[in-house]
Structure 1
């Protein structure tokens, strides 16, 4: 109940669902909504997903002669991943290449392979939804946005500010959008609200500043269009913890990333259950990394830093990475004198 009272959208902030409803849109969402309060997300239909329900929603919107938005929340992104002991998966654990921040053992290979198998399932369900859209005859008149959740439940992933925890796919297609192109500009999830309003030609004013900006010009492949100079992220760790939580912030400008923290010695980090528990969530990597802490000490230190209150890890106040030469963020350059100017500049931008 405490979280339900604090982790909620405040009345003055207008959600996309509210704005589209005001503008006559018929809206639906599949699977979990996972936001509070429900009245800030006034969908007309709450669905379980699947071909039949998606087709029914499109039919209902068409019959009402109303523009529509359907958010297909594919559930295949979280643990438990497919259990390869019980279900045949196409991904071979022996053939997967583990990222360097994970301990190397057959169990971890199996865990990572099952994660990749889960991605395959999500991909198949995405294709299913697009196929239903195509069969409805509305595909050419529909903006499609594909995005993902943030980070798999491994070290450097979910609930961290590393690339595995922040970077996500974003694919947009639709009328007036150039197809088959990859944009190198920095963009954010927060850009989606102004982008959708722009593409749908909805003029909406706000009593507060938006942190995102419309990507419509980028989508039209205007060579003069630019994304963000910097992307910011944060983890407040204000959840079911016995204290206020460690404060974590990051700034990234396409190559260099700075992570800055406060309360590293006094506060806890929030570690989700699926990032460490096997019995319910099937996580094999957490306990396996502990078992192999003598053979793979670096990987254990990374795990202990993720869960310092239980494993005694030392969390640094500052981390800095060059993602061009170190995309897995394994070498913290915060103490390197030759990169001090980069740290000063990024920290100044972050504080501003």
Structure 2
């Protein structure tokens, strides 16, 4: 240690002290934008976040489908809390996953669309994600399966496990070492199912396989479905093509269910089941036109089942409106982290689970910009109580298609036959959208009667617009400039 006479050194140190003061003053402005977590001395629960790929509420027994076989997920529902009004904020894989792990909307973090191939969107490097925050809390963090995030330094996990994303049984067995951790663990388990596979035929009339194989997957029992038995959601045409593809989709979902069951068996065998929070969600809706990539209900109102082993009451259903931007603060709340609420755009809904009280959870927002880079179609959504407003910022453009949805036999049957309707919507209304779409979901759950131009709903429309503008201001949404067309808000273009 070096000692010095303070009086003699004051003149030498004063300039340095003043400089440091200026640096600290400048840094404090940035600290407010970062997430700081203080360590807790409480016994911390383990957390498993299980994220399926393109799985809608339409294909789960616990959400009312009496055809599909999902006994393990149904059991999770029977042991936990099933949310009826859980929403992704962007109905696109990569963009949605960034929101899940940052607690912020993608328009504020640069997570505009896909990270892979030439799309190459990436989250800002100064963001701090959930696995990093949990690691600071003393957690062992591990991931397996689909990643679809960038950059790695922002979404870093201590351990990356390798397995076939389509074989969730194999994935579950690969996770056994995680359960042996002496530290509390966070496992991010992401399947490749039930995402569509590559187009299966050159004529586009063959049903997509959704990753299914004739020979099946090792350790997985193939659960096949007949097209005539499936339940066709109301947003889809009840056609031969839709039914064939839904049957393939169901098979892929049943594969997920088996893997989830194996994961829970392995967790129970480890002795840690009763100290583990288990969360099941999907990144966005089913991969059919009208769901995935849209902010209609089939695209964003998703399964969310949470098992909190410390709650005595089981089999609860909850109507609280929550969204994926709330997941990071909720998990931090569960593990006892002392975090700044203003560091996130979402808020913890832990109390809604523990108290089974949805009070204060009557509004959600959504923000979609890209899927693939050729799919620029920014949309914003506010749902408040029963009303939902969609703002189609690029409404003068035809609604774009994801490549896998365009080639689907379900869509091509409509496209080639020049059909007037796609489900309950006209094809014209699906492709050519109004600037504003206002729906009363209680009276019109299929979102087919746009009230935005109805004089009887002027007051409702203006109220919803105000809520949306406030949301955009508070989350620093660059697309807020389209309300005023004040393009000076884009900045100077100079790198200053």
TM-score grouping bracket, smaller chain normalisation: 0.7 to 0.9
The answer to whether structure 1 residue 78 and structure 2 residue 195 are counterparts is yes
Specify which of 325, 350, 357 is matched with residue 190 of structure 1. Answer: 325
CA separation of 1:292/1:109 partners in 2, compared to 1, >3 Å: closer, same or farther? farther
- Structure 2 vs 1, CA of residues 100 and 67 (structure 1 numbering), >3 Å: closer, same or farther? closer
Structure 2 residue aligned with 1:142, among 264, 276, 285?
276
Is the 1:289–1:300 Cα contact (8 Å) retained in structure 2? no
Matches within 5 A, 1:151-162: 151-162=285-296
Structure 1 residues 101, 216: closer, same or farther in 2, change over 3 A?
A: closer
Q: What's the CA shift for 1:239?
A: 4.5
Q: How far is the alpha carbon of 1:140 from its aligned partner?
A: 0.4
In the alignment, the residues of structure 1 paired with residue 143 and residue 294 of structure 2 have an alpha-carbon distance, to the nearest angstrom, of 27
Inter-partner Cα distance in structure 2 for 1:43 and 1:228: 31
State the match for 2:415 in structure 1. Answer: 290
Match for residue 402 of structure 2?
Answer: 272
- 1:263 maps onto 2:384 in alignment: no
How far the C-alpha of 1:157 sits from its partner, in A, is 0.7
The unaligned stretches of length 5 or more in structure 2 are: 1-116, 164-169, 198-208, 216-221, 471-496
- Rounded to whole Å, the distance in 2 between the matches of 1:238 and 1:123 is 27
Matched residue, 2:369? 236
- CA change 1:304–1:152 in 2 (3 A) is farther
**Alignment deviations for residues 247-267 of structure 1 (CA, whole Å, 9 cap, x no partner):** 2111112422111122322x5
Q: Pick from 333, 343, 348 the counterpart of residue 466 of structure 2.
A: 348
Cα 1:89/1:82, change in 2 over 3 Å: farther
Q: 1:158-237 residue pairs with structure 2 within 5 A?
A: 158-177=292-311, 178-205=313-340, 209-221=343-355, 223=357, 226-237=359-370
Tell me, what secondary structure is at the counterpart of 2:447? Answer: coil
State the distance in 2 between where 1:192 and 1:291 align: 42
Taking the aligned partners of 2:213 and 2:327, their CA distance within structure 1 comes to 40
**Contact 2:327/2:348 (CA < 8 Å) preserved in 1?**
yes
2 CA distance for matches of 1:44 and 1:55?
15
Tell me if structure 1 keeps the 8 A contact 2:143–2:159. yes
Change (3 A) 1:321 1:133: same
Q: Tell me how far 1:204 sits from its aligned partner.
A: 2.6
Alignment RMSD? 2.6
1:28 aligns with 2:146: no
- 1:14 alignment counterpart: 128
The unaligned stretches of length 5 or more in structure 1 are: 278-282, 307-312
Q: Secondary structure at the match of 1:153?
A: coil
CA-to-partner distance for each residue in 1:112-149, whole Å, 9 max, x for gaps?
A: 22222222222222112111111111100111111112
- Tell me whether 1:334 sits opposite 2:452 in the alignment: yes
> Aligned partners of 1:202, 1:29: CA distance in 2, in Å?
21
For residue 142 of structure 2, give the secondary structure of its aligned residue in structure 1: strand
Provide runs of 4+ in structure 1 moved above 6 Å. Answer: none
1:240-299: CA deviations, max 9, x gaps? 239xx332111112422111122322x56553222122xxxxx211111113334x4354
Conserved 8 A contact 1:155-1:303: no
| Cα distance between partner residues in 2 of 1:287 and 1:66 | 51
Residues 168-192 of structure 1, C-alpha deviation per residue, up to 9 Å, x if partnerless? Answer: 1111122433532111111111111
Q: TM-score, normalised by structure 1?
A: 0.84
| Partner in structure 2 of residue 309 of structure 1 | none
Change (3 A) 1:36 1:83: closer
Do the aligned residues in 2 keep the contact of 1:157 with 1:164 (CA within 8 Å)?
yes
Closer/same/farther in 2, CA of residues 51 and 288 from structure 1, 3 Å limit: same
